[in-house]
Amino acid sequence: MRGIKSSTTFVKRLFQLLKVEKTTNRLYFKYQKTPYTMFRYGIDTLTVTKVLAIARGNLKAILTQKAIDKVMLCRKKVETIANSNKAVYGINTGFGPLCDVQISPEETSKLQENLLLTHAVGVGKPIDKELSKIMLICKVHALCQGFSGIRLKVIEHILFFIENDLIPVVPEQGSVGASGDLAPLAHLFLPLLGEGDFWVGTTIVQAKGILKKYQLSAIKLQAKEGLALINGTQFILAHAIKGLYSMKYLLNLADLAGAMSIEGYKGSASPFKKALHTIRPFKGTLKVAKRMRMLFKDSENIMSHEDCDRVQDPYSMRCIPQVHGASRNAYYHLKKLTAIEMNSVTDNPIVLSETVAISGGNFHGQPLAMALDYAALAASELGNISDRRCFLLLEGKYGLPRLLTESGGLNSGFMIPQYTTAALVAENKSLCFPPSADSIPTSLGQEDHVSMGSISGRKFNQILQNIEKILAIELLYAAQAIEFRRPLQCADIVEENHKLIRSKVAKLEEDRLLKDDIQAMIELVKNRKFRVK
């Protein structure tokens, strides 16, 4: 890489660019008002929050001398093995069913280059640019653990891409999640060879031209490097990270939507009392019950009918802690497994010494695939129960007019948006089939059990996008229902969110085009404008 003479000068150059100073054991960017700590690849623990902060430019990630030493030491081990007569998979042999063919040292570079070229067979639309960037970040962190045997020069090139927001274009389809995400990762690293494409802003540009613009030479891969790049679970992992980020907010938003629907329905707050849930103390259930109590705190509307003669509310109202809580439990499980995967080494073979390189299965996507399928089901249920609450608000019970309009007949009111929530719920149900339950052998049977985790990750995020729309419509309904409870006031947090909705969508007095109202609500959800805690 031009301008980087050695690993040491590379680190120095990064620090010069950052212009940082050490104060009370924290690093401060001089051009930022807020203090940040540095993230050190291969040394520190990666989290969902940190990955997204790095991807969005809010946290600086660097390569330290300690990580450099680990990378270079492992590279020496690979070179020793590559020059020996012993056949070691992926270093001096072919791949997959050709693992029994030994490759000469002279042919090693061509073998590694062919690996990327032949595996870049993905199809379909490109994944979101941020997902590709997350993949790069997670791959660098894994390579810097010091078990992959890749040269420092290759890592430096990848870091250059990240630092300059040169993000490779990756098709969404083609991975079976077994030897890792072979096709997506091959596309991700084609630009190292001067092949493939980059995102430049929102435009797709050929890699050759970009490398020329930045005066970068194409990398000539050496022993083990191609395999280190394309073996791994970073495609599955990136979708898990992005999904967890979305699901966390939507879990909180679902609680808010449920609380606002109960306010509009004049439902009971009794099912959320602490004493009820401490005798069945699932973590998610306890969390949701506590949040519901917070969302009803000091509500005049709730207190106004505490002594009414209604015995109980339908399940979609009173079972919110149990249903939303179960979805939270799935979120917690996926978060725990994703944290492990983010800080693991998932390529193959794993280089342990100058004589030992184990060809195992750390690249297999099953650990995340099954959890992603579980989380997809959990996310889908948030929409399922939300649609039921929408239906209840339209029935015309307990002082609410049918279809939430006082002039029904001439006006349809809010009849039809519930058709949309029903359609989205049905779509989510169809997306809940677990891809990890299936396996289609590949590589002439050498890879005879695969995880299909890439499909699990993609479907998880599709479901979450539908949940955004379903909850947006429930919040629209709930805001309308609350209008019929005036002048009674709800809890402060509910009133604050009701005011936010009314800043974008007026109370429905008579029929109008609802498309714009629904879209305005979806934008509020997507942009995280609701106060959820």
Active-site annotation, residues: 89
Distance, in Å, from the CA atom of 453 to the CA atom of 99, rounded to the nearest integer, reads 25
- What does the block give as tokens for 384? 């399922």
- What's the sign of the alpha-carbon dihedral 232, 235, 238, 244? negative
Q: Which residue has the tokens 């007949």?
A: 409
The H-assigned helical ranges of 315-444 are 315-318, 320-342, 366-394, 417-431
Distance, in Å, from the CA atom of 89 to the CA atom of 173, rounded to the nearest integer, reads 27
3-state percent helix, strand, coil for the chain, nearest multiple of 5: 55, 10, 35
Beta strands 39-40 and 61-62, pairing class: parallel
Distance, in Å, from the CA atom of 89 to the CA atom of 317, rounded to the nearest integer, reads 57
- Backbone φ and ψ for 282, nearest 5 degrees, come out as -65, 140
Distance, in Å, from the CA atom of 112 to the CA atom of 102, rounded to the nearest integer, reads 13
Distance, in Å, from the CA atom of 327 to the CA atom of 203, rounded to the nearest integer, reads 38
Q: Cα dist. 478→102, 185, 414, 420 in Å?
A: 67, 45, 11, 16
3-state class of 528 per DSSP? Answer: coil
In the chain, how long is the greatest CA-to-CA distance?
Answer: 87
Phi-psi region of 280 (alpha: psi -120 to 50; beta: other; left: phi over 0): beta
Distance, in Å, from the CA atom of 283 to the CA atom of 112, rounded to the nearest integer, reads 48
Distance, in Å, from the CA atom of 86 to the CA atom of 379, rounded to the nearest integer, reads 50
Length of the chain: 533
- What does the block give as tokens for 471? 């909850």
Distance, in Å, from the CA atom of 391 to the CA atom of 478, rounded to the nearest integer, reads 11
The H-assigned helical ranges of 175-233 are 182-189, 207-213, 225-230
3-state class of 172 per DSSP? Answer: strand
